[in-house]
Chain A
Amino acid sequence: MTDSASQPVPQQTFKAPPSRLREFWSSFRENRGAVIGLFVFLGFLVVALLAPVLAPYAPDAQYRDALLVPPFWQEGGSTRFLLGTDALGRDLLSRLIFGARYSFFIGLIVVTLATTCGVLLGVIAGFAPTWLDTLIMRLMDIVLSFPSLLLALVLVAILGPSLLNAMIAIAIVLQPHFVRLTRAAVLTERSKDYVTAARVAGGRKLRIMFRTVLPNCLAPIIVQAALSFSTAVLDTAALGFLGMGAQPPTPEWGTMLAESREFILRAWWVVTFPGLCILVTVLAINLMGDGLRDALDPKLKRS
């Protein structure tokens, strides 16, 4: 025994364990795609916030002398309108920059709405007596048995086509996923010892539901929220494209696409750029969401 003690023992200093946030960040940072996604996302956010400063023109200013001008690098284009103009002579770049505002606004509102309702219902279902649980879950099954976009479309038909209604409709369509996820997480957490301990200690039911259990279910909810952000942007754009979302002349990317559809074979740029913006935003959010999932939920990591 003394022999082993005389062995050179590797020096080890114990630092305080990293805080949860730091631990999360170091694990998130490993994922190159996620970091790229984060920076692109932040870039779009800055553009959205500074839109009035960055945009060379007002989004609805029409220049009758310059209809369907191509981007500057193409023949006939000029640096006056970097990405060209649309059929009404509006500067495409300015409209895209202002469009970023709408996309973030949409994503934020829809996700907040869907998450709040979904998590609330999910926690209730997880703690409720069987009949209420069954009722809530059946309701969610019913909502999920309609293709999401179709249901959103029909809801907008009821509510009337506008950006706000489109957002409400998409939030309604998205929230069953949150309900299911939250309920599943609550059910696993609820049977754990610390919850029993809280109950034995005489914690009030509401407190146990929202202060004891819910914080431990947050990881998958955050991931779902991030991924829902991209769905929200995508689906609102789709509704806008179908003429059921934001109405012209709002510079919302989907609506811009819809307006320019008839020019697809004549002016590729009016179609290409708004879609590209949607794609890059959605891609950045999905990259980030994948990274979030890997960092927050080691069980799902594996790959």
Chain B
Amino acid sequence: MALLEIRNLSVEFATHSGKFRAVDGVDVTVDEGELLAIVGESGSGKSVSMLALMGLLPWTATVTADKMEFDGHDLRKISARARRRIIGKDITMIFQEPMSSLNPAFTIGWQIKETLRKHTDLNRSQRQDRAVELMRQVGIPAPEKRLQAYPHQLSGGMSQRAMIAMALANKPKLLIADEPTTALDVTIQAQILELLTDLQRDAGMALVLITHDMGVVAETVQRVQVQYAGQRVELQEVDGLFENPHHPYTAALLAALPERATEKRLPTIPGVVPGQFDRPHGCLFSPRCRFADARCIAERPRPASADLGYALCHYPLIDGLPTGKETAA
């Protein structure tokens, strides 16, 4: 049975100029102990879908889903209080900006112990021991001393490690890492990623890694979910995805990786993710897709079969070429 199962999740934000659909019918499935990556440009709704799961969206957001189940709990019907018993214990999350995600007014130790106090029966000295253990686990030197430090005294990498320690405190079943390395130096990025994947393997917890960096994906994960403009456009095992992407967007993303560039000039994807006012009628990627035709502009595509990576495309690619075009015409 899947640890987390989300079917047809949509999130709409009420704005001054009407409703904005940030997430549009997304499915997410995570098995126990699995490592899933959600990949997409900024604005593709990858963070929003996870924040919706956590119940962390502002009140302007409306969340709808056919199914949203975690570990046997129906998160759609659950009370706020019951949800708070799961959030921070069984599902935890770390964020993009570690420096600002820690409360500047309290020590690191206070903040780690707070989550222990909330979700466990440990007494004061046990909490201290556990905090030290956690700090050691995430590779922070001199943990006793660092526990008494304030966030502004820590570097970005250290702050992210502290955030991870906090997220691990209650041995979660699922950790969501929302662009955990984007704000960090390149050298630190690799360390943090390695730490996360090691912890995931050792602790046997599931990890959802949200990122816009295909390079990160290649090295770490098992399954990849590609999102575009609030929709899931492809879901594949990592090897298959890199070898044979089925959605033109995935293919374009991969082609834009410097490591895979075949030409002198790095290919780019023209245009930007559609916003509130320029949302196409048909396939959302059609304005930027080099294979798009009249049908793509007029008609919304449906997900393809599992062996085609559920590609949300009228003409899923096989070996870089669109299929089924003749029959459709």
Contact = CB atoms under 8 A, between A and B. Distances in A.
Q: Are A and B in direct contact (Cβ within 8 Å)? A: yes
A247 B279 CA distance: 71
B286 interface: yes
Nearest to B282: A7
A6 interface: yes
Contacts of B292: 3
A180 B287 CA distance: 54
A7 B280 CA distance: 8
Interface string B274-286: 0001101000001
Nearest to A9: B278
Contacts of A10: 277-278
Contacts of B297: 3, 6-7
B277 A4 contact: no
Interface core residue of A1, A3, A10 (most chain B CB under 10 Å): A3
Interface string B170-185: 0000000000000000
B161 to A, nearest CB: 33
B287 A3 contact: yes
Interface string A253-296: 00000000000000000000000000000000000000000000
Contacts of A4: 271, 286-288
A3 B280 CA distance: 12
A4 B290 CA distance: 10
B198 interface: no
B277 A3 contact: no
Interface in B257-281: 270-271, 277-278, 280
B270 A3 contact: no
Interface string A160-193: 0000000000000000000000000000000000
B301 to A, nearest CB: 15
Nearest to A10: B277
B210 to A, nearest CB: 28
Nearest to B277: A10
Sort chain B's interface into a size bin: 10 to 19
A81 B315 CA distance: 88
A10 B279 CA distance: 11
B239 interface: no
B293 interface: yes
Interface in A1-33: 1, 3-4, 6-7, 10
Interface in B225-247: none
A6 B298 CA distance: 11
Nearest to A8: B281
Contacts of A7: 280, 287, 297
A1 B286 CA distance: 10
A3 B288 CA distance: 9
A3 B291 CA distance: 10
Contacts of B294: 3
Interface in A34-56: none
A167 B205 CA distance: 73
A3 B271 contact: no
B147 to A, nearest CB: 35
A10 B276 CA distance: 13
B283 to A, nearest CB: 11
A1 B293 contact: no
Interface string A216-252: 0000000000000000000000000000000000000
A6 B270 CA distance: 16
A26 to B, nearest CB: 14
A98 B297 CA distance: 72
A7 B274 CA distance: 13
A1 B270 contact: yes
A1 B290 CA distance: 8
Nearest to B296: A3
A31 to B, nearest CB: 15
B300 to A, nearest CB: 15
A10 B275 CA distance: 14
18 contacts: A1-B270, A3-B286, A3-B287, A3-B292, A3-B293, A3-B294, A3-B296, A3-B297, A4-B271, A4-B286, A4-B287, A4-B288, A6-B297, A7-B280, A7-B287, A7-B297, A10-B277, A10-B278
Interface of B: 270-271, 277-278, 280, 286-288, 292-294, 296-297
Given A4-B287, A7-B280, A10-B277, 8 more contacts: A1-B270, A3-B292, A3-B297, A4-B286, A4-B288, A7-B287, A7-B297, A10-B278
